[in-house]
Amino acid sequence: LDHTGDWYLGPGIDQALTALVSGLTPVRLTTAAV
């Protein structure tokens, strides 16, 4: 979960970092345009 609470990268920091490093698209939790 990022600081805005909009993106979910995984259940833990390891999964989140792996997703970021590998360039995976995170799941958008909100649909509001920024």
Burial of 34 by CB count in 10 Å (0-12 exposed, 13-18 middle, 19+ buried)?
A: exposed
CB 26 within 8 A of CB 9: yes
Among 9, 12, 29, 30, CA closest to 20:
9
Q: What is the pLDDT of residues 1-34, one digit of tens each?
A: 445 565 665 667 776 667 667 766 666 665 655 5
Chain-centre distance of CA 4, in angstroms? 10
Q: Tell me the whole-structure pTM to 2 decimals.
A: 0.34
CB 4 within 8 A of CB 28: no
